[in-house]
Homo-oligomer: A and B are copies of this chain.
Amino acid sequence: MFNEVFNHWIPTKIYFSKGISNNLKDYIKGKNVLILSDPFIKDSGIAEKIGDSLTNKNVNYFSEIEPNPSGDTVDLATKLARDHKTDCVLGIGGGSAMDVSKIVACLTTNSGSIYDYYSGGKRKLSSRKTQLICIPTTAGTGSEVTNVGVFTNLETNVKMPMVHDELWPDIAIIDPELTYTLPAVVTASTGMDAFCHAIESYWNKESQPISDYISLGAMKLILENIENAYKEPENIEARTAMSLASLLAGLAFSQTRTTGIHALSFPLTSEFGASHGTACSISLPPFIRLVGKEKSKKMEMLAKFLGFSNVEELAQSIYELMSKMNMPLRLSDLGVEEKDIAHIAEVGLKAQIIQLTPAIMTQETVEELLLSYL
């Protein structure tokens, strides 16, 4: 049932507590702090509230991080970090802000541009000297406990993950309170993204028992709580459970990476404008059915653990859950047409993680799968 050869390493210190983000002073080393966020987190006052609580620190802000952040944005934020001799980078937000904060913290004391180290660059990052603290404001990405950043090269329009041990945050601060104001549509898509992280870790060819048990917990919490969090934004119990689930899912996939669902999400995001969570979860029911056939014993165990009689019931239930949360259910809902299928398969197959799916993933099989939920 379990892979019997595996490694496990998560060096990040995790602190989970409601309200903890208002009280971070004692976690921060040094004087000069740079807070990185997207414009929404800046406008909502979340970034400033955290910054203001850091009495006796010099706090600067960079709040121009866009969805699917580019290397160019990383370089801009890095310039600010260097100018202010930053001791600690705080990344506050969804995956985009946290991903940028990871590489900016590295580049503060590594010269050059992100492109020197990534997307064709040949230089190697030396040890990160600047402290890195990540604080999620959604319940989905799990980026606070991974060594991955995903960036887009604007010149080539390629969105690609960068994986490096220097990208592990020193500290992950999980404060469910920060998610209370998430719009329902974001609650749904980021929450289902977390479900994808967990299930893709569980069925991954590189799966392993430590992350397997953690991912089971994540999936159970999401199925039990996401609808309540979607319907009642201030349901504290549901929000806390979703923040926890996202953390667990992040811990799980940090060890295994993801699979075909994430691989196929890249073209759906960059070319059809779907949010990351939507672009992932749209593929969830068909992938559950596919993997259910290929890895039936382990998938049956999952279905039972989650309270279903079999894998088909689990797939159907996820489909209905997404429907109740008004999420796109078919590729055509994202504007995909039959003529696009071959291209989506082609782009998805370029991501190495697609081969971590426990099923044969070729141009032909992926096209067939995509057509089944066009």
Q: What residues of chain A have their CB less than 8 Å away from a CB belonging to chain B?
A: 2, 4-18, 208-210, 212-214, 216-217, 240, 244, 247-248, 251
Say yes or no: A16 contacts B6, CB within 8 Å: yes
For residue A7, which residue of chain B has the nearest CB? B15
When distances are taken between beta carbons in the complex, the residues of chain B under 8 Å from A240 are 4
> With a CB–CB cut-off of 8 A, which chain B residues contact A7?
13-16
Q: Please, which residue of chain B has its CB at the minimum distance from the CB of A12?
A: B9
In the assembled complex, which residues on chain B have CB atoms less than 8 Å from the CB atom of A248?
209-210, 213
30 A-B pairs within 8 Å (CB atoms) are namely A4-B16, A4-B17, A4-B18, A4-B240, A4-B244, A5-B16, A5-B17, A5-B18, A6-B16, A6-B17, A7-B13, A7-B14, A7-B15, A7-B16, A8-B16, A9-B13, A9-B14, A11-B11, A14-B210, A209-B217, A209-B244, A210-B214, A210-B247, A210-B251, A212-B217, A213-B213, A213-B214, A213-B216, A213-B217, A214-B214
Please report whether the interface of chain A is mostly helix, strand, loop or mixed according to DSSP: mixed
Flag if A2 contacts B244 (CB, 8 Å).
Answer: yes
Q: How far is the CA of A216 from the CA of B11 in the complex (A)?
A: 23
CA distance A58 to B14 in the complex (A): 38
A210 neighbours in B (Cβ, 8 Å): 14, 214, 217, 247-248, 251
Residues of B within 8 A of A13 (CB): 7-9
- For A208, the chain B residues whose CB sits under 8 A away are 16
> Bound state CA distance, A212 and B210, in angstroms?
12
Residues of B within 8 A of A212 (CB): 217
Which residue of chain B has the shortest Cβ distance to A214 in the bound complex? B213
* A209–B16 CA distance with the chains assembled, in angstroms: 11
Q: Enumerate chain B residues within 8 angstroms of A17, measured Cβ to Cβ.
A: 4-6
Q: How far is the CA of A160 from the CA of B16 in the complex (A)?
A: 30
- Beyond A8-B16, A209-B244, A210-B217, 14 extra complex contacts between A and B, CB < 8 Å: A4-B18, A4-B244, A5-B16, A5-B17, A7-B13, A7-B15, A8-B13, A9-B12, A9-B13, A10-B10, A210-B251, A212-B217, A213-B216, A213-B248
CB distance from A253 to the nearest CB of B (A): 14
Complex Cα distance, B210 from A251, in Å, reads: 9
Given known contacts A209-B217, A210-B251, A213-B248, is B2 in contact with A8 (CB within 8 Å)? no
Q: Which partner residue on chain B sits nearest A18 by CB separation?
A: B4
Q: Which residues of B contact A12 (CB under 8 A)?
A: 9
**Whole-angstrom CA separation of A13 from B248 in the bound complex:** 19
Shortest Cβ gap from A293 to chain B (Å): 25
Q: How far is the CB of A224 from chain B (nearest CB, A)?
A: 10
Docked Cα-Cα span, A373 to B240, in Å, equals 41
CB of A325, distance to nearest CB on chain B (Å): 24
**B residues near A9, Cβ cutoff 8 Å:** 12-14
With a cutoff of 8 Å between Cβ atoms, the chain B residues found around residue A217 in the complex are 209-210, 212-213
Chain B residue at minimum C-beta to C-beta distance from A4: B240
